[in-house]
């Protein structure tokens, strides 16, 4: 049995939980190795203290679930089956009485919750999220290798985007070119909607790319990532087109310094809070503190936003095997928007930076 399932079963024992049914695509993948978005159909992994786990999925996915390497029973439900009946039957085959039932409270909707209440009458429902977040927090060598490869595709994507910059092209033109080149390399999914923002649009941290045309003197911000073997990358680079003015250049170099210094400080033992403050202090001392309105970074793995959260209030101690982003930014409306984002893996003594696209200010002619 894989260590993830064993660790999760151990938690069920400690908490005296009789059954768990995990239904989010990310956590089903984490526990079972089967990656699937079932849309409105029911997908889940049932795990018990001692009894064998099972995977419940739409019957049209049974073949793929087997191929994913899942070694235990697979219950396929056709579109005319009642999947809840199947779930109840197969859980009750394994455990006599359910006092405590673990599920993802953030993921199970009211309709599903009512199904569970009716079928496991009197059970106490326990949130499994925190435990699963803790398990996913530390990445092993195999995960690191996959994340490194996902980051390499992100580097490649930024290079494609930079090469496409030309007067008159729109943000969406550039996005189309980036995603076309990635698809040719076998990447079918981005980790979030690709962002290419130019000029005034780059000053919005979560802007919406559209038909704005690139013009000389603009900063162009790329924020993108790919999904590779179920794991995400997330990179941001900002480049200038044709020329920069003094304030754009000044802002760029402050963000660069904040990013480089924060990355340099990463090692086991430092806290998330200390890392955020290194970058935040550099930006504040330069007079732009009010224009850095978000946390320094977020964990990265199967999800594009997971633990740890790198904020200036999080006392969490950084440990070997954590993977997160470092992404300070300064956004001054109508003047400049600059963000620089890398993905990092914490090593025994320091850090490996997974993304490697150059960070010095580039002026694209
Ligand atoms: Mn990003
Ligand atoms: Mn990010």
DSSP 139-206: --HHHHHHHHHHHHHHHHHHHHHHHH--TT-BHHHHHHHHHHHHHHTT---BSS--EEEEGGGGGSTT
Same domain, 93 and 159: no
Same domain, 86 and 166: no
Cβ(95)–Cβ(51) below 8 Å:
yes
Residue 164 alpha carbon to ligand 2 centre in Å = 23
Instruction: Name which of 305, 289, 286 is nearest 297 in CA terms.
Output: 305
Residue 340 alpha carbon to ligand 1 centre in Å = 9
From first to last of the 365 residues of the chain, give the pLDDT tens digit. 789 999 999 999 999 999 999 999 999 999 999 999 999 999 999 999 999 999 999 999 999 999 999 999 999 999 999 999 999 999 999 999 999 999 999 999 999 999 999 999 999 999 999 999 999 999 999 999 999 999 999 999 999 999 999 999 999 999 999 999 999 999 999 999 999 999 888 888 778 999 999 999 999 999 999 999 999 999 999 999 999 999 999 999 999 999 999 999 999 999 999 999 999 999 999 999 999 999 999 999 999 999 999 999 999 999 999 999 999 999 999 888 999 999 999 999 999 999 999 999 999 99
Same domain, 302 and 159: yes
CATH code, domain carrying 82: 3.40.350.10
Same domain, 195 and 67: no
- State the ligand closest to the CA atom of 223: 1
- State the ligand closest to the CA atom of 206: 1
The tally of domains found in the chain comes to: 2
Residue 234 alpha carbon to ligand 1 centre in Å = 5
CATH code, domain carrying 174: 3.90.230.10
- State the ligand closest to the CA atom of 298: 2
- State the ligand closest to the CA atom of 222: 1
Please say which residue of 119, 136, 153 terminates a domain: 136
Same domain, 154 and 130: no
Q: Which residue has the tokens 């995603």?
A: 179
Please say which residue of 136, 156, 184 terminates a domain: 136
Same domain, 355 and 211: yes
- 198, 234, 253, 329 from 292: Cα distances, Å: 18, 19, 14, 6
Residue 91 alpha carbon to ligand 1 centre in Å = 41
Say whether the peptide bond before residue 87 is cis (omega within 30 degrees of 0): no
Residue 324 alpha carbon to ligand 2 centre in Å = 8
- State the ligand closest to the CA atom of 238: 1
Residue 341 alpha carbon to ligand 2 centre in Å = 7
- 33, 40, 95, 324 from 302: Cα distances, Å: 11, 21, 31, 12
Same domain, 293 and 323: yes
Length of the chain as a residue count: 365
Domain, as residue range, for 111 = 3-136
Q: DSSP label at 341?
A: B
Please say which residue of 136, 153, 168 terminates a domain: 136
Same domain, 148 and 125: no
Residue 169 alpha carbon to ligand 1 centre in Å = 22
Same domain, 228 and 178: yes
User: Which helix H or strand E contains 73, and what residues bound it?
Assistant: strand 73-77
Same domain, 31 and 68: yes
Instruction: For residue 75, report the phi and psi dihedrals to the nearest 5 degrees.
Output: -100, 115
Residue 168 alpha carbon to ligand 2 centre in Å = 28
Whole-angstrom distance, CA of residue 333 vs CA of residue 324: 28
- 9, 144, 250 from 141: Cα distances, Å: 22, 5, 39
Residue 105 alpha carbon to ligand 2 centre in Å = 25
Same domain, 94 and 211: no
Same domain, 180 and 247: yes
Residue 234 alpha carbon to ligand 2 centre in Å = 5
């Amino acid at each position: 049995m894989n260590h993830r399932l064993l660790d999760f079963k151990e938690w069920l024992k400690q908490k005296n939980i009789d059954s768990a049914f995990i239904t989010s695509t990310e956590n089903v993948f984490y526990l079972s190795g089967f990656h699937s978005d079932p849309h409105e159909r029911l997908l889940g992994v049932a795990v018990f203290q001692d009894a064998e786990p099972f995977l419940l999925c739409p019957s049209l996915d049974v073949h793929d679930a087997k191929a994913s390497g899942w070694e235990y029973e697979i219950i396929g439900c056709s579109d005319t089956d009642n999947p809840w009946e199947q779930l109840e039957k197969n859980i009750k085959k394994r455990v006599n009485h359910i006092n405590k039932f673990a599920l993802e409270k953030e993921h199970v909707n009211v309709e599903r919750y009512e199904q569970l209440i009716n079928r496991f009458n009197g059970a106490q429902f326990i949130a499994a999220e925190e435990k699963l977040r803790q398990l996913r927090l530390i990445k092993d060598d195999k995960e690191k290798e996959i994340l490194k490869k996902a980051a390499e595709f992100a580097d490649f994507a930024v290079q494609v985007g930079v090469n496409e910059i030309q007067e008159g092209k729109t943000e969406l033109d550039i996005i189309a070119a980036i995603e076309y080149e990635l698809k040719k390399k076998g990447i079918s999914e981005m980790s979030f909607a690709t962002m290419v923002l130019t000029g005034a649009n780059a000053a919005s941290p979560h802007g919406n790319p559209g038909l704005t045309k690139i013009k000389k003197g603009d900063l162009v911000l790329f924020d993108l990532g790919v999904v590779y073997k179920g794991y995400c990358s997330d990179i941001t680079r900002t480049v200038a087109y044709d020329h920069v003015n003094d304030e754009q250049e000044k802002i760029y170099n402050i963000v660069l310094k904040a990013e480089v210094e924060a990355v340099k400080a990463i090692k086991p033992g430092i806290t998330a809070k200390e890392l955020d403050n290194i970058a935040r202090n550099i930006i504040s001392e330069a007079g732009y503190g009010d224009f850095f309105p978000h946390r320094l970074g977020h964990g990265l793995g199967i999800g594009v936003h997971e633990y740890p959260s790198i904020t200036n209030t999080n006392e969490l101690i950084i440990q070997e095997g954590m993977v997160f982003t470092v992404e300070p930014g300064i956004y001054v409306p109508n003047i400049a928007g600059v963000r620089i984002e890398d993905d990092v893996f914490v090593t025994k003594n320091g850090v490996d930076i997974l993304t490697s696209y150059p960070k010095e200010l580039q002026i694209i002619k």
